[in-house]
Structure 1
């Protein structure tokens, strides 16, 4: 199985200083420019390339120790008879001695690193953009727990009907439409 893996660190739980006024016909949603910070949470995610399903893990910190816990979760959730190929960036937490030792003890895991400065090649980055644009950005989160609940809700909903995001799937032309000349 091939997974694109990365972490979205410091996702902020933000609450607006005034209530958000909802959209109504002819009137856009209105929000204040200022906000109150309620904390952050990092999200580790693995997007399965074949199905676009996501395995996620939320932690309170963003270190190699948490990445190792995420690898353990992947090891538990992926059938034991399959090799696991992880496409990920060159972040230092992916290459610590503790991670290397864990990988030696789990030879079915194979890491493939994207070139330095090219993490945008990793498909899970596109999924993070969807999460940010459709769930987090317009949300009001008065606590880290509320933010984490919304992230889990998003992951569960996503996995019920995973699909490539816009820009990832080629468009097909309807047979009833003639090409422009």
Structure 2
């Protein structure tokens, strides 16, 4: 917890990008079965609870701690390790020579063989030095892969929140903002494509108008009672 909070406190002083990354899965495209009844003097807006379920999609996104902007969002229903690596690649493509620190939770896809191989390629580390999954070397286990991905000597590295502490990840706070602003009980989506389009529109609006860094005050230590 201290490592995560320290990186937030120092973010504006660092010459590297600090990004918080995660997936929001199972975003439902729900359409109200009947039109809302608009509010009028003395009567609030009314809606029936019946809805039509059109399916779900997901969102993989990174939040730039220094600016508050949402970087390289990917709207798709899957969150496989290949999807996560593709997202990380899209983030890095925006400034290929820079250094990056990603804050993520300990989901297995965040410590995958594909991610290790991608980071090794970006950092100029030979693939034949990585070993073999479940047998030897860096790729042997999730523990050895995690150690490699956390290495401070790499241009691209990860910091992991402790288990049950994903609330330390700032992208989770932004997902809460997204839910309140767009994916709320008043929203109605005609299809998964409509949901994806409005997600993309909201992210663009947020980046242009609303984005700003969070004022992070928690230092990662027990609070005095």
Q: TM-score range by the shorter chain?
A: 0.7 to 0.9
- Offset at 1:81? 2.8
Per the alignment, in what secondary structure is the counterpart of residue 90 of structure 2? helix
Structure-2 residue corresponding to 1:178: none
The answer to which structure has the higher helix fraction is 2
Q: 193, 203, 208: which is aligned to 1:160?
A: 208
- Relative to structure 1, the CA distance from residue 23 to residue 66 in structure 2 (aligned partners, 3 Å threshold; closer, same or farther) is farther
Secondary structure at the counterpart of residue 188 of structure 2: coil
| Residue number in structure 2 paired with 1:121 | 168
SS at match of 2:182: helix
| Partner Cα distance (2:183, 2:206) in 1 | 14
For 2:197 and 2:183, the matched residues in 1 are separated by 11
Question: 2:67 — aligned with what?
Answer: 51
Query: Where does structure 1 lack aligned partners over 5 or more consecutive residues?
Result: 171-181
User: Structure 2 length as normaliser, TM-score?
Assistant: 0.69
> Structure 2 vs 1, CA of residues 89 and 32 (structure 1 numbering), >3 Å: closer, same or farther?
same
CA distance in 1 between counterparts of 2:90 and 2:38 reads: 39
Which stretch shifts more, 121-130 or 95-104? 95-104
Is 1:13 matched up with 2:29? yes
> Pairwise CA RMSD of aligned residues?
1.7
Query: TM-score under structure 1 normalisation?
Result: 0.85
1:111 maps to: 158
Contact 1:15 1:37 in 2 (8 A): yes
Structure 1 residues 33-52: aligned runs within 5 Å: 33-52=49-68
- 1:59–1:66 CA contact under 8 A, matched in 2: no
Distance 1:152 1:110 in 2: 28
Question: For residues 135 and 142 of structure 1, what CA distance do their matches in structure 2 show?
Answer: 14
- The offset of 1:102, in angstroms, is 1.1
